[in-house]
Structure 1
C-alpha cells in the first residue's frame, strides 16, 4: 500500500459526513464505528457505511473502517457489516498484544471466505495503552496484513495519567511516539501519529505535524477536513528538501566516479546512509 500522509476519521453514523469524505484531500479516510460513535448509534453507523461505501468513486483515496476493539461484542458485528465492501482494510482499536492482531486475522479469514473476498483486507493497529507501546515491536511483526501502527494518544494519556490538555510540543509523549515509530520501521510498515485535537489552533497543528515528521512518522491522523492540507504539507518534501537531496546524490555520484565511498559535502561527511535518506526524500516527493 502506498504511503499515506493524512488519515481522517469520519463518524460512521453521520451520512452527510460519510458522503462528503471522498471530497476531502486526505490521503486516507477511516470510517469510524468506535470512539467517535455513541453505543446507541453503532448500528446506524454500520448501516450508513454499508450503504454509502458502494456509492463512492475510485478517487485514489484509501478507505479503512475503524472497528470496535476485538475484545468487545461489537467487533464481530462491525466485521459482519463491512467485510465485502470496497475498502482497503480495518483499523483495529486498542491493540495491546500480537494475539489481538492474530485473532482479528482469523475472524477476517472466515468472513472473507464467506463473502468471496479475493483481496485480503489490510490492517492498521491502533496502539492506545502502555501495554500496547511495550508490545509494539511484536505487534508490528504479527501479520503480513498489517500495514501501519497508529498512536492513540488520548487513550494512552488516560492510561498513564497525563494532563487532559495537550500542548503542541507534547514533550510528555515523545517516548511513546518514538517507540511506535521505531517499532513500525522495524516491521517495515507505516507509522501514523496522534490526532491534533484543538481545531482552533492551526499553528499548533502545523508544529505538531512538523514534529511528527521529524520524529520519523510517515503520516498523521486528523479529525477535520481543514487539517488535511497542513498535514499533507508537513509530510511532503519541500522545494528546499528536494533540492538538497538532488545535490547530495549528484555529489555522491561524482565521489563514486572518483573511487570514493564518502566525501565532504556542505561541511558534513556524505556517505551511503545519508545518500539513502536523500533517495527516500525524492521517492516521497514522487508519491505526493
Structure 2
C-alpha cells in the first residue's frame, strides 16, 4: 500500500467488539472491511475489542476484502492499537482526529518499525476545521497516506452544522482537491454516511463519483452493493472511454491533437479522463 492510492469503492465499518458482525464481515462484498476500535466501541470495551480483533485477523486476512483498522486517536490508546499491525494482512489504518501532518508522520515512524516492508497504508480522518484547513499538508504528509476522508458527523458537530449534502459540499470538495493533488484516493459521499436510510445509495455514489470521489465508507451492509455499482464505471462510461481513446489514437496517427467525436471536440484532458475510466474498470475487474 505504501506509495499507492487506494482503490476501494466500498469500506464497511465493523465494530471491533462484535464477534457476530466480525464473523460475517468477509461475506458482505465490500472492497475493504474497517475493523473499528474507536467510536463504535464503548470506552470500557476497548481492550476487549483489541483482543477480539487480534484473534480474528489471521482468518479475516484470508478473505476477499482488504482489512483496515480504525485505531483510536488518543496517543496512548493508539500505541496499544498499533500492536495489531505486527500481524500480517492489514492493508491500512484509519487515523482519526487528524488535525495536522505531524500526527501522520508520527504514526508513519511507528509503522516503519512495525511494518518495514511498507504494506500498511494510512487513511487520515479529518474531523475538525483545523484538520480541513491542513488537508493538503496531511494528504502529502508521507508516502504511506493512500486515501483521505472527512468525518462528516464530527466535523458538522464541531462547526455547528446540520449535516446534509448541501451543508457539507464545500468541505467535501476540499477533500477531493487535497487528495487528488497528492495523488491519493478521496473517499466519501456528498451526504453523511449516517443518513443511508431512505437514500438511493447507488445514485448518491454515482453523483459523488461525478464530484471526484472514488469510494466511500458504509455503516450498514445493505449499502455495499449500491456503493460498488455507483463508484464503478457504468457500461456507458466504458463505451465512451473506449471510443475516445480510439479516436485520439487515430488523431495522433494523423498528426492531430484534437478531434471531433459525437459532435464534441475532444483533446488530451478528455483522453486522460477516458484512460482513467478504463483504469478504474481494470482495478475493479473480478470484484463483486
1:33–1:45 CA contact under 8 A, matched in 2: yes
- 1:150 aligned residue: 149
| Structure 2 unpaired stretches of 5+ | none
Aligned residues: 278
| TM-score when normalising by structure 2 | 0.91
Q: How does 1:216-255 map to 2 (within 5 A)?
A: 216-255=212-251
Q: Deviations over 1:27-86 (max 9, x none)?
A: 0111000111110111111011000111225333111110011x4431112112443242
Return 57-66 or 123-132, whichever deviates more.
Answer: 57-66
Q: How does 1:96-245 map to 2 (within 5 A)?
A: 96-112=99-115, 118-163=117-162, 166-167=163-164, 170-194=165-189, 195-203=192-200, 205-245=201-241
CA distance in 2, matches of 1:64, 1:263: 44
Deviation at 1:268, TM superposition (A): 2.1
- 2:38 aligned residue: 34
| TM-score when normalising by structure 1 | 0.91
CA distance in 2, matches of 1:216, 1:256: 28
Q: Deviations over 1:14-36 (max 9, x none)?
A: 01111111111110111000111
CA distance in 1, matches of 2:258, 2:196: 46
Indicate the SS of the match to 2:55.
helix
Deviation at 1:92, TM superposition (A): 0.5
